[in-house]
Structure 1
Amino acid sequence: MRAAVYYGNKKLEIEDVPEPTPGDGQVKVRVSRNGICGTDLHEYYDGPIFIPPSDPHPLTGKAMPLVIGHEFSGVVTDVGRGVTDVHEGDHVAIEPVYRCGECRPCKSGRYNLCTSVGFHGLMADGGMAEYTVVPRNQVHALPESIPLEMGALVEPMAVAYHAAVLGEVGDQSSALIYGAGPIGIGLWFALRGMGLTEIDVVEPSPTRRASIEALGARTLDPTSQDVSALIADRTNGDGVDAAFDAAGVAPAVTSALECVGERRPLISVAIYDKPLPTPLINLVLRERRIQGTICYTSDDYRAVIDLMARGHYDTTGWVDTVPLSGVIEQGFEALRAGQKMKLLVDPTL
C-alpha cells in the first residue's frame, strides 16, 4: 500500500509499505481522508519535534521512520481477536491518543494528560496511508448522517471543543476568538453549539475573515480596530467571559488579557514558536488566568460527532482535498504559504 513516510526534517516520501494486519484488540481501517495538521507542518519543516528520532516511544515501540497522519476517518476492514463491538464495514473516526492507563491523569479520566501520552501518526504508523491499524479504544462510530470525508474533521474539531469546554461558558456568555484558522473556526462552531451568540473572531487576514464570515461569524480586524477599546465599550468595561487564543502570537495574548473579564480565562489553544512576554499585571489586578489545553478525550469526540450528526458543521469554503501523491507541493507548501485553510489527503489518489 502507499503511505507518507517521515524520515526527518523535510524528508517525507510517498512509498509502498506492507499493508498492516490487526493484532489482538486492534482494528484495521481503510482510510478515507487524513487531515494535514499544523503539527505535521512543524514536524516536516522544523522537526523532528514529537516524532521520536531514535528511541522508541514507551507505549507504541515506534520511532522514526514512520507513517504520519493523526486526523482521519475510514471504513473498518478487519478486526483482531477480542474486538466484538466493531465490525467490518463500520464507518469510523479515530481518536489517536495512546495512554498508559496507570498514571494519575489516566486514572482520573484525563488521559489526554497521560505522563507517557502518544499519538497515532506521531509515535505510531498513522493515517496518511491507504490502511492503518489502531487500538479498539481509539475507534468512534460515525452515524450514517455524517459523510465519511467529514469524519476526518472530528479530531481537529474535538481539539477546539475541548478548549471551548475549558472556557466555562454558557448560552448567555460572550467570547473572543483570536485566529480564524481551522481551530479558530472549530472554536466558533463549538461555542455556537453551546448556545453562545455573542462571539467575535479577531483575525488580521482579509482572506480568513472572509472565510469565517461566510459561515456566519462576526469578525474584528485588529489592524484597523482597537479591539480592547471596542470590547470595553460594548461590555461597559466588564470584558468578555472567555477568550481563546488560536493565533499563537504575542499581540493576540496581550489583547486577549485586556479584553477578558475579572476571574475569567484566556484559553491557550496555540503552539507558540517563540517565548511570549506575559503581561502579569493584567492577570494580577483582575485575577484573570491563562489556561492551557491539549487535545481531547472521548467526551469531546462524542460531543462533536453528535453536533456533526445534526448538521452543525459547515465545510463550505475552508476545506479542500488533495491527493497523497501531491501532499508536499499541494498540501504542506500550500498551507505554509497561506493559500489554503484546511486540507484533507485522499490516500487513493
Structure 2
Amino acid sequence: MRAVVYRGPGNLDITDVPEGEVGPGEVRLKVGFNGICGSDLHEYYAGPIFIPNGEKHPLTGRELPLTLGHEFSGTVVEIGSGVEGVTEGDRVAVMPLYFCGRCSRCTEGRYNACAQIGFHGLMADGGMAETTVVPQHMLHRLPDEVSLEMGALVEPMSVAYHAAKLGDVNPGSTALVFGAGPIGIGLWFALRGMGVENVRVVEPSPTRRGAVERLGAQTLDPTSDDVPAIVQDLTGGRGADACYDAAGVAPAVQTALDALGAGRPMVSVAIYETPLETPLLNLVLGESRIQGSLCYTAEDYRAVIELMSTGHYDTTGWMEKIAMRDVVEEGFEALHAGRKMKVLVDPSLA
C-alpha cells in the first residue's frame, strides 16, 4: 500500500509499504482522510522531536522510520480476535492515544497526560496511508450526519474542545482566543458550542483574520487594536474570564495576561519553539494563572462528534484536500509558508 514515511528532517517518502497485521483487539481501517498537524510540521522541519529515534517507544516498541498521521478517519475493513461491538463498514474517527494505564496520571484519570504517552502516527505507523491498524479503544463511531472529511477533524477539534473546558467558562463569560489557525478556529467553535457568545479572536494575519470572520467570529488585530483596553471596555473593567493561547508566541502571551481578569486562567494549548519570559507579577497581583492543556479525552471526542452531527462546525475557507502524491509541496511546504491553513490528505488519490 502507499504511505507517507518519515525518515528524518526534510525526508518524507511517498512509497509502498507492507500492510500491518491485525492482532487481537485490533482493527484495520481503510483511511478516509488524514490531516497534517502542526506536530507533523515540527517533525518535518526540526525533528525528530516526538518520534523515537534510536530508542523504541515503551508502549509501541517502534522508532524511526514511521508512517505519519494521527488526525484521521476511516472505515473498518478487518476485525481482529476479541473485538466486540465493531462491524466491518463502521465509519470511525480515531483517538490516537497510547497510554500505560499504570502511572499516577493514568490512575487519576488523566490518561491524556500519561507519563509515557504515545500517538498513532508519531510512535506507531499512522493514518497517512491507504490503511492502518489501530486498537479498538481508539475508535469513535461516526453518525451518518458526519462525513469522513469531518471525521478527520475530530482530533484537532477535540484538542481545542478540551482546552476550552479548562477555561471554566459559562454562557455569560467573555473569552479571548489568540491565534486563528486550526486550533484557534476550533476554540471559537468549541466556546460557541458551550454557549459562550462573547468571544473575540485575536489574530495579526489579515488572511487568517478574514477566514475566521467569514465563519462569523468577531476579531481583533493586535497590531492596531489595544486589546487589553478593548476588553476592559467590554467587561466593565473586569477583564476577560478566560484567554486561550493557540499562537505560541511571546506577544500573544503578554497581551493575554494583560487582558485577563483577576483569578481567571490563561489556557495554553500551543507549542512554544523558543523559551518565553513569563511576567509573573501579573499573575501574582491578579491571583490569575496559566493553565496547560494537553490532548483530549474520550468525553471530548464524544462532545465534538455530537456538535458535528448538528452541523456546528464549518470548514469553509480554511480546509483543503490534497492527493497523497502532493503531500510535500501542497501539504507541508504550503502550510509552513502560510499559504494554507488546514490540509487533509486523501489516500484514495495516491
Report if TM-score (shorter chain) is over 0.5: yes
Structure 1 equivalent of residue 290 of structure 2: 290
Structure 1 equivalent of residue 134 of structure 2: 134
> Equivalents in 2 of 1:9, 1:210: separation in Å?
32
SS in 2 for 1:339: coil
SS in 1 for 2:286: coil
> Equivalents in 2 of 1:138, 1:35: separation in Å?
17
Residues 9-65 of structure 1: CA deviation (Å, up to 9, x unaligned): 111101100112210000110001000000000000000000001111000000000
Structure 2 equivalent of residue 220 of structure 1: 220
Structure 2 equivalent of residue 329 of structure 1: 329
Q: Which amino acid aligns with 1:171?
A: P
Structure 2 equivalent of residue 120 of structure 1: 120
Cα root mean square deviation, aligned: 0.6
Q: Give 1:106 shift.
A: 1.2
Q: Which amino acid aligns with 2:138?
A: Q
SS in 1 for 2:238: coil
Structure 1 equivalent of residue 170 of structure 2: 170
Q: Which amino acid aligns with 1:311?
A: G
Q: Give 1:316 shift.
A: 0.7
> Equivalents in 2 of 1:77, 1:20: separation in Å?
13
> Equivalents in 1 of 2:153, 2:233: separation in Å?
36
Which residues of structure 1 form unaligned runs of 5+?
A: none
> Equivalents in 1 of 2:333, 2:157: separation in Å?
23
> Equivalents in 1 of 2:121, 2:234: separation in Å?
44
SS in 1 for 2:72: strand
Q: Is 1:181 aligned to 2:181, yes or no?
A: yes
- What is the TM-score of this pair, normalised by structure 2? 0.99
Q: Is 1:153 aligned to 2:153, yes or no?
A: yes
> Equivalents in 2 of 1:239, 1:158: separation in Å?
27
SS in 2 for 1:329: helix
Q: Give 1:107 shift.
A: 1.6
Alignment of 1:36-185 (within 5 A): 36-185=36-185
Residues 225-244 of structure 1: CA deviation (Å, up to 9, x unaligned): 11111111221221010000
> Equivalents in 2 of 1:282, 1:84: separation in Å?
52
> Equivalents in 2 of 1:90, 1:18: separation in Å?
23
Q: Give 1:149 shift.
A: 1.2
Residues 267-309 of structure 1: CA deviation (Å, up to 9, x unaligned): 0010001001101110000001000011001010000001001
How many residues in Structure 1 have an aligned counterpart in Structure 2?
A: 349
Q: Give 1:148 shift.
A: 1.2
Structure 2 equivalent of residue 8 of structure 1: 8
Structure 1 equivalent of residue 230 of structure 2: 230
Structure 2 equivalent of residue 303 of structure 1: 303
Residues 90-136 of structure 1: CA deviation (Å, up to 9, x unaligned): 00000000011111211222101111110000000000000000011
SS in 2 for 1:257: helix
Residues 287-340 of structure 1: CA deviation (Å, up to 9, x unaligned): 010000110010100000010011100011111001111100010000011111
> Equivalents in 1 of 2:109, 2:323: separation in Å?
37
Structure 1 equivalent of residue 190 of structure 2: 190
- What is the TM-score of this pair, normalised by structure 1? 0.99
> Equivalents in 2 of 1:113, 1:319: separation in Å?
28
Q: Give 1:247 shift.
A: 0.5
> Equivalents in 1 of 2:82, 2:149: separation in Å?
28
